[in-house]
Amino acid sequence: MSVGSVSRKFGTAKACFPVPTAYAAAFYCVFAVFSAVTVVLPGVATAQDVFAIRGIEVDESADSDAKAKTQGVAFAKRAAFDGLMARLLVPEDLSKVPAISADRLEFLIRDVAIVSEKFGGGRYLAKMDVRFQTDGIREFLRRGRLAYAETASQPMVVLPIARAPHGDVLFEDTNPWLDAWARTPSRDGLVAIVPPLGDLSDMASIDAARATGGDIPALTAIARRYGVGAVLVAVLTLKLSPENIERAEVALTAYGPGWDGRSFSGNYLDNDPPVAAEGEESNTPLDPSERRKHFLERTASQVGDALEMAWKRENLLRFDLGNQTIEISAPISALGDWLAVERGLRAAAPVSAVRLVSLSLEEARAEVTFVGEPDRLAVALAQRGLSIAHAEEGDVFYTVTRAR
């Protein structure tokens, strides 16, 4: 599937995939952000709260249950802060995070929720969620001159395809790659990946050939089925390295707002030492089938990590580039249309201010101030169900429209 190139600075115009007329009504127009075209899939959802760290495990002991709980809450707050920094920053910047006292940390925390807890004998076991003050964290990072990413990708459903001698397999029972993704723990970061069920409805929506061929109607159908805004096609090829170590070659293609049908690839080696099976002696290695199962699970997790890192680096907010202000036009038919656009604009991470300039029955005009590069703004807006492009006519440079 190929699409003509468009300008990186918001694109020169909106474009649609050349699909048969019968399908035209089922697809939204797409908007170029990087070097390809964004597929605006249905099921646009609000980005998750990236300033919340959930499921923190606490295990503290002290002279009393009360003291153990106090220690546990303090531990959870500090662990949540470290986890949030790891989510927002690239690895090379983690060492640059300014030291923060317990009192200062307290001001950055919005609330702490105890999901579950147990006391007894001076020991405190709990699971906690910690939410942070969004503006406080932003200010903390800006004062530290740290570039960070807070734009969450639209959740994506993964289509794990395994290359086999008899052909590619997706939802067949013989696909160990599908099973590996099903066993992979859910991700709590900027890129949420949903494994498919592989049931009859999935089979009716898409197959391996249509997935690898970039069949837009089929990709749209599977995205709609899972209520997500993006699709990840992950093709696995298993080989042996010269050292006779199993190697997983993974080719990825991501479709959806901000992904633009871009491709990634990676190689993963099963070079971990053999692990004993449960209930066996520690020196008893796993049988080959069990070892492969664990290897593919690790590979699926590593693929998710690599994808999240690629997204994070593409969406870093660069405060050293300063602020820009542009005037936008939003076509409307009712006041509610503008209010929806305004909410999306204000929720986009790069946007610092939105000022309404004029409002008519057909159009709203506003000034939008944002930080960093235009490409980052376009991606952030796409996650909120908005697209931005150069206006085709008139005295306003940019038009912002909602996905319908």
The residue to which tokens 């209010």 are assigned: 339
Cα-trace Rg, the chain: 24
Say which residues have a Cβ less than 8 Å from residue 382's Cβ, sequence separation at least 6.
Answer: 31, 33, 38, 40, 154, 257, 258
pLDDT of residue 320: 75
DSSP for 10-74 reads S-SS-B-----HHHHTTS--BB-SSSS-B---S---PPP-TTEEEEEEEEEE-SSHHHHHHHHHH
pLDDT reported for residue 70: 95
For the record, the structure tokens of 250 come out as: 């993974």
Is the predicted pLDDT of residue 110 greater than 50, yes or no? yes
Transcribe 372-385 into DSSP letters.
Answer: S-HHHHHHHHHHTT
Note whether 153 and 223 are within 8 A (CB): no
Alpha carbon distance 223, 212 (integer Å)? 15
pLDDT at 13 over 70: no
CATH architecture of the domain covering 152-314: 3-Layer(aba) Sandwich (3.40)
Q: Is the pLDDT of residue 7 over 50?
A: no
Share of the chain above pLDDT 90, in %: 49
Beta strands in 303-347 (DSSP E): 323-331
pLDDT computed for residue 36 by the predictor = 33
Q: What confidence score (pLDDT) does residue 35 get? A: 29
211 CB burial (10 A radius; 0-12, 13-18, 19+): buried
- Whether residue 73 contacts residue 128, with contact meaning beta carbons closer than 8 Å, is answered with yes
Confidence of residue 376 (pLDDT cuts 50, 70, 90): confident
Q: What is the pLDDT of residues 297-323, one digit of tens each?
A: 999 999 999 999 999 998 888 877 778
Question: Is residue 171 a contact partner of residue 178, using CB atoms and an 8 Å limit?
Answer: yes
What is the pLDDT averaged over residues 233-261? 88
Read off the pLDDT of each residue in 331-335 and give the average, rounded to a whole number.
Answer: 90
Please report the pLDDT score of residue 21 as a whole number: 30
Please state, in angstroms and rounded to a whole number, the distance separating the CA atoms of residues 243 and 271. Answer: 10
Domain 319-402: give its CATH architecture. Answer: 2-Layer Sandwich (3.30)
CATH architecture type of domain 52-143? Roll (3.10)
For range 288-296, the mean pLDDT: 86
Q: Please spell the DSSP secondary structure of 104-115, one letter per residue.
A: HHHHHEEEEEEE
Neighbouring-strand partners of residue 235:
161, 251
Q: Which range, of 43-57, 95-109, 151-165, averages the lowest pLDDT?
A: 43-57
Determine what percent of the chain falls in helix, strand and coil, rounding each to the nearest 5.
35, 30, 40
Pairing of strands 398-402, 323-331: parallel
Q: What is the pLDDT of residue 393?
A: 62
- Candidates 397, 320, 379; CA nearest to 152 is 379
Sequence ranges of the domains in the chain: 52-143, 152-314, 319-402
Which band of pLDDT confidence, cut at 50, 70 and 90, is reported for residue 185?
confident
> Does the pLDDT at position 26 exceed 80?
no
Over 50: is that where the pLDDT of 11 sits?
no
